[in-house]
Structure 1
Amino acid sequence: MTDSGTAENGNRRRGRDETEEERADRMWTELIQEVRVAQMGVQILFGFLLTVVFQSKYEELSTTDQRIYLVTVVLGAVTTGALIGPVSLHRLVSGRQVKPQAVRWASRLTVLGLVLLLATMACSLLLILRVATHNGVVPYVVTGVVLWYLVCWFGIPMWTRRRHSAR
C-alpha cells in the first residue's frame, strides 16, 4: 500500500481501513453534526409555535385551525425529543463499549426526527397559509412543499445510496 491510498497494482482502494470502533467514532461525529443542523431548525420552529397561543388572535382562529395548531405543537415537541435523543443516548452510554449500537440507535432516532420534522413543517405551513390566505389552493401548495422535502430529504439520498452501493 502506498501513502496515497492505492494498492501496489495501481487500483484505488475501496472503503476505509478502520476497526468497528473507529468506524463508530467517525459515524458518531458525522451524525452529531447532522443532528445539530436539524435541531437548530426544529428548536426555532418549536419556540415560535409556543408563542402563538399567547397571541390575542389565537382566539379568533377557527376550531379547525386551533386543532391544526395543537397537532403542530405536539409534533414539534416529539420532533425535539427525537432529535435531542441521540445526545442523551451518547451521554448515558458513553464509556460502556457500546458505541456501534449507540450509533445505530442514534441514527434511527435522527431519521425518525426528520420524518417528524417533515410533519411539523407541513402542519406549520398548512396553518400559516390557511390563516394568511383563506385560499382553497393551500392544501395543494402544502402537498407540493411536502413532496419537495421528500425528494430533498429522502429521495435523492436513497437514490444516491442505491446507485452507488451497487458498485
Structure 2
Amino acid sequence: MSHISPSSAAPSPHGGETPAERADRNLVELLQELRVVQTGVQIVFAFLLGVAFTSRFPDLDTFERATYVVTLLLTVVSSAVLATPVALHRGMFHRGVKARIVALSARLAEIGLVFLALALNGAVLLLMTVVLGRIAGIAIAAGTLSLFIGLWFVLPKALLRPSP
C-alpha cells in the first residue's frame, strides 16, 4: 500500500483537485475573508483612536476608561492575529508548506474572530454605557456578544452536524 503525501500531484476525491491545488484555493479564499474582516478591525481601531481626543473623554469614569483601554488592546490583538496569515504566506510561500500555512492560518482566523468579537462588544459596551448608563450598556453588550457567539461560532458548528 503506497502512501500519498499531501504535496503529491495525485488527484483527490475532492472534485479532481490535487492536495496542492486545494491548498492554493483554500489559501486564496482565506486571505479574501481576512481582507474583509481586517477592514472592520481598522474601522473600530480608528473610532477608538478618535475617542481619546474628544472633549468628553476626560469625563469618563474608571469603568469607562478601563473598557476603552481593554477594547483598544483587543482591537490591536485582533488586528495582529488576523494579519498573521498574510505574514506567514509572505515569509513561507514557495517552500512547499502551503497546506501547513492554510491549517495554521485557519486557526489564527478563528482566534482573531474571537478577539474581534470581544473588541466590537467592548466598543458597544463603552458607547452604550456613556449614552444609556452602565446597566443598559452591560445588558446591550451581553446581547450583542450573544449574537456574535451564535452567528460566528455556534451556527457554523451546528451546520456541520449531520442532519437527521
1:89 equivalenced with 2:88 (yes/no)? yes
Structure 1 distance, partners of 2:125, 2:160, is 31
Number of aligned pairs?
A: 152
Compute the TM-score of the two structures, normalised by the length of structure 1. Answer: 0.86
Paired residue type of 2:143: G
Aligned to 1:104: 103
Q: CA RMSD in A?
A: 1.5
Render the CA deviation track for 1:62-88: whole Å, top value 9, x for unaligned. 011011100001000000001111111
1:18 equivalenced with 2:17 (yes/no)? yes
Compute the TM-score of the two structures, normalised by the length of structure 2. Answer: 0.87
Paired residue type of 1:85: T
Structure 1 distance, partners of 2:21, 2:108, is 21
153-162 vs 100-109, which moves further: 153-162
Paired residue type of 2:147: W
Structure 1 distance, partners of 2:134, 2:91, is 48
Structure 2 distance, partners of 1:37, 1:27, is 16
Structure 2 distance, partners of 1:15, 1:90, is 24
Aligned to 1:6: none
Aligned to 1:51: 50
Retained in 1: the 8 A contact 2:23–2:102? yes
Deviation at 1:135, TM superposition (A): 5.1
Q: Which runs of 5+ in 2 are unaligned?
A: 1-12
Structure 2 distance, partners of 1:112, 1:101, is 17
Aligned to 2:138: 139
Render the CA deviation track for 1:98-123: whole Å, top value 9, x for unaligned. 00000011111111110000100111
Deviation at 1:155, TM superposition (A): 1.3
Aligned to 1:69: 68
Retained in 1: the 8 A contact 2:125–2:138? yes
Q: Which runs of 5+ in 1 are unaligned?
A: 1-13
Paired residue type of 1:74: L
